[in-house]
Chains A and B, each alone.
Chain A
Amino acid sequence: AQSVTQLDSQVPVFEEAPVELRCNYSSSVSVYLFWYVQYPNQGLQLLLKYLSGSTLVKGINGFEAEFNKSQTSFHLRKPSVHISDTAEYFCAVRVGAAGNKLTFGGGTRVLVKP
């Protein structure tokens, strides 16, 4: 069974500074990888996804992530954060094309300070 680990439960960062959220997964088969953002009392919004091809994927709101198969990682980055990026971020994995379920990491709370 696959698992997803988000190494940082909370990341404080100053406005306009860069941020990196770490995500590692464990799976012996091919996976689809996702990053979602959740604002307070809301559902999840897809930031970006890796399915195949280029290991660097760009998403909405200036976020990007890099898939590293050898390190089984999918870290999320943004070069300059805004106050509005304060939210909870979830990494998720879905196993292969036949898989149905998303397995989520524990989440990372990003708090952007002015």
Chain B
Amino acid sequence: GAVVSQHPSWVICKSGTSVKIECRSLDFQATTMFWYRQFPKQSLMLMATSNEGSKATYEQGVEKDKFLINHASLTLSTLTVTSAHPEDSSFYICSARDRGGRQYEQYFGPGTRLTVT
């Protein structure tokens, strides 16, 4: 089946530093990837949609200069949290849509837990 990986699975960083999270589709090509944020015991909130080779589309209220998204290839999208603050601590989940598959289906990665101290 379609597998999406994320790296790292968890990361701790100091306030003011930047951290990069990778999302990879392992056995399919993903023209579209999605980045979600999930606070403890809450639902997933879509942050942005990225399409390979073009700029990401951010949801209202998401700072694009703070959450940099790069979808450089059909199998890799990265989310960089710049100048991280403790309030950025969260669970970040990506999903990907199979270029050759059903358009309605998204495959989710296992998530990355970010803790900013």
Contact = CB atoms under 8 A, between A and B. Distances in A.
A51 B108 CA distance: 19
Contacts of A32: 104
Contacts of A42: 110-111
Contacts of B32: 100
A44 B93 contact: yes
Given A43-B93, A101-B49, A90 B44 contact: yes
Contact of A102 (B103, B106, B110, B111): B106
Interface string A41-66: 11111100101000000000000000
Contacts of B45: 104
Interface of A is mostly: strand
Interface residues of A, number: 22
A90 B111 contact: no
A104 B44 contact: yes
Interface in A8-65: 32, 36, 41-46, 49, 51
B106 A105 contact: no
Interface string B77-107: 0000000000000000101000000011110
A104 B110 CA distance: 17
Contacts of B105: 46, 49
Interface string B105-117: 1101111010000
A2 to B, nearest CB: 12
11 contacts: A43-B4, A49-B105, A94-B104, A97-B103, A97-B104, A101-B49, A102-B46, A102-B106, A104-B44, A104-B45, A107-B42
Interface of A: 32, 36, 41-46, 49, 51, 90, 94, 97, 100-107, 109
